[in-house]
C-alpha cells in the first residue's frame, strides 16, 4: 500500500501553502511537524480530498485520489481538530449516525467493538457536551475508525489533553498503526517520538527535514548542548536565543540549546530529542533546511 505525493503545490492569492511537496508513505505512523502556517493542514485537506492542489498529484497505489473519488473516500478516516459533533447527542448516537453515513456493515457489532477499544463503553449514553477533552478525542478516533480505513488522518489529536489522556491516545494509535497509513499533525513532539515510523518537518510549505526518528535525530547529532549557570544568566540567554530553553531546579539552572557552535564555556554535548530538532529548525533566528 502506498500513498505518494508528487510535486504537490497549493497556492492562494498571495500565499503558497505547499511548494513542491514530495513523499511516499506506506503502512505506519507519520508525524507532520512544523510551526503554524507551515502547510500541515493544507496537506491533510488535500489528502482528504477537501482541497485540490494547484499542481501535482496524490496517488493511492498508483491512481490519482481525485479520480478514485468515492472509492478512495471509502478507505479514508479523518479526525479534524474540531470534529463538530452535535453536543446534545450521546456518544452512542454519534457513532450510529456516522455508521449510517459511512454504510458500515454490521454497525452494531462495529460500534460496540470500537467503543470498547477506546474505553467509552460505560460512557456511551452520556451527552457529548458532558465529555472531557480526552473522551471527545477518543470518541473522534472511534468515529474515524468506523469504516476500518486504510488511511487515517489526525489533526492535532492531543491538543488540550492532560498527560494521562495523551498517553492513552498514544497507546490507541500505536495499536492500529501496523496495517494503516496514519498521518498525524501535532505541535507536541513528545506524543509521537516513540510511535512514529516517519517524521516530516514542514516549513513554509516545503520539507525542511524528513526521515525515520533516528534519521532526523542524527541530523543534529553533535549540535545539542547543555550548560549550567545562575538563574539570571540562564534566563537572559534563553530570552536572546530562541532555539534555547531553560532547565531549572531548586538548586541551580541550566540551558539546553541546539546550536552550530559551542554556546558557552563548559557546555557539554547531549543526545538530541525531537524537541531539539524542532527548536533547531524553527527558532526565529534559524529557519533551516538540513
DSSP the chain: --EEEEEEEEE-SS-EEEEEEEEEE-SEEEEEE--TTSSHHHHHHHHTTSS--SEEEEEETTEEHHHHTHHHHTTEEEE-SS----TTSBHHHHHHHHHHHTT-SSHHHHHHHHHHHTT-TTTTTSBGGGS-HHHHHHHHHHHHTTT--SEEEEESTTTT--HHHHHHHHHHHHHHTTSSEEEEE-S-GGGTTTT-SEEEEEETTEEEEEE-HHHHHHTTTT-EEEEEE-HHHHHHHHHH-TTEEEEE-SS-EEEEEE-SS--STT-EE----HHHHHHHHHSTT-----
The band of 229, judged by pLDDT with boundaries at 50, 70 and 90, is: confident
The mean per-residue pLDDT over the stretch 68-96 comes to 92
The band of 287, judged by pLDDT with boundaries at 50, 70 and 90, is: very low
Give the contacts of 191 (CB within 8 A, at least 6 positions apart): 158, 166, 169, 170
Query: Chain centroid to CA 2: how far?
Result: 19
Stretch among 14-18, 174-178, 217-221 having the lowest mean pLDDT: 174-178
* pLDDT value at residue 85: 92
- Are the C-beta atoms of 187 and 161 separated by less than 8 Å? no
* Of 266 and 274, more confident: 274
The band of 176, judged by pLDDT with boundaries at 50, 70 and 90, is: confident
The band of 250, judged by pLDDT with boundaries at 50, 70 and 90, is: low
Helices 91-101, 107-117: inter-axial angle, 10-degree rounding: 130
- Parallel/antiparallel/unpaired status of strands 268-269 and 224-229: antiparallel
Return the percentage of the chain with pLDDT > 70, whole number: 96
* pLDDT value at residue 265: 83
The band of 121, judged by pLDDT with boundaries at 50, 70 and 90, is: very high
Q: Is the pLDDT at 36 greater than 90, yes or no? A: no
* pLDDT value at residue 285: 42
The model carries a pTM of 0.86
The band of 286, judged by pLDDT with boundaries at 50, 70 and 90, is: very low
- Measured from the Cβ of residue 238, the count of other Cβ atoms closer than 10 Å reads 18
The mean per-residue pLDDT over the stretch 181-208 comes to 88
What is the distance in angstroms between the CA of the first residue and the CA of the last residue of the chain?
29
Cell of 20: 513542491
**Fold that domain 3-216 belongs to in CATH:** Rossmann fold (3.40.50)
Q: Is the pLDDT at 72 greater than 60, yes or no? A: yes
- Measured from the Cβ of residue 12, the count of other Cβ atoms closer than 10 Å reads 9
β-sheet bridge partners, residue 276: none
Give the domain ranges of the chain: 3-216, 222-271
Q: Is the pLDDT at 78 greater than 80, yes or no? A: yes
- Are the C-beta atoms of 229 and 253 separated by less than 8 Å? yes
The mean per-residue pLDDT over the stretch 140-156 comes to 92
β-sheet bridge partners, residue 59: 4, 64
Amino acid at each position: 500500500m502506498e500513498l505518494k505525493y508528487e510535486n504537490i503545490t497549493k497556492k492562494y492569492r498571495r500565499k503558497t501553502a505547499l511548494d513542491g511537496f514530495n513523499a511516499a508513505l506506506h503502512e505506519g505512523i507519520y508525524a507532520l511537524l512544523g510551526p503554524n502556517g507551515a502547510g500541515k493542514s493544507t496537506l491533510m485537506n488535500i489528502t482528504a480530498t477537501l482541497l485540490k492542489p494547484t499542481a501535482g498529484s496524490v496517488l493511492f497505489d498508483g491512481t490519482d485520489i481525485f479520480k478514485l473519488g468515492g472509492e478512495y473516500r471509502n478507505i479514508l478516516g479523518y479526525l479534524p481538530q474540531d470534529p463538530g459533533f452535535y453536543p446534545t447527542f450521546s456518544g452512542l448516537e454519534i457513532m450510529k449516525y456516522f455508521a449510517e453515513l459511512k454504510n458500515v456493515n454490521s454497525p452494531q457489532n462495529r460500534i460496540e467493538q470500537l467503543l470498547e477499544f477506546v474505553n467509552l463503553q460505560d460512557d456511551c449514553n452520556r451527552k457529548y457536551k458532558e465529555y472531557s477533552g480526552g473522551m471527545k478525542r477518543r470518541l473522534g478516533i472511534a468515529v474515524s475508525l468506523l469504516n476500518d480505513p486504510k488511511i487515517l488522518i489526525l489533526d492535532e489529536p492531543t491538543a488540550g489533553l492532560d498527560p494521562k489522556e495523551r498517553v492513552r491516545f498514544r497507546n490507541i494509535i500505536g495499536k492500529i498503526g501496523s496495517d494503516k497509513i496514519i498521518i498525524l499533525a501535532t505541535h507536541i513532539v513528545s506524543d509521537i517520538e516513540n510511535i512514529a515510523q516517519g517524521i516530516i518537518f514542514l516549513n513554509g510549505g516545503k520539507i525542511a527535514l524528513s526521515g525515520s526518528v533516528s534519521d532526523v535525530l542524527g541530523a543534529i547529532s553533535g549540535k545539542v548542548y547543555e550548560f549550567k549557570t545562575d538563574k539570571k544568566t540562564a534566563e537572559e540567554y534563553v530570552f536572546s536565543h530562541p532555539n534555547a530553553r531553560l532547565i531549572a531546579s531548586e538548586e541551580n539552572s541550566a540551558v539546553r540549546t541546539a546550536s552550530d557552535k559551542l554556546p558557552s564555556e563548559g557546555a557539554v554535548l547531549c543526545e538530541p530529542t525531537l524537541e531539539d530538532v524542532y527548536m533547531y529548525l524553527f527558532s526565529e533566528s534559524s529557519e533551516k533546511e538540513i
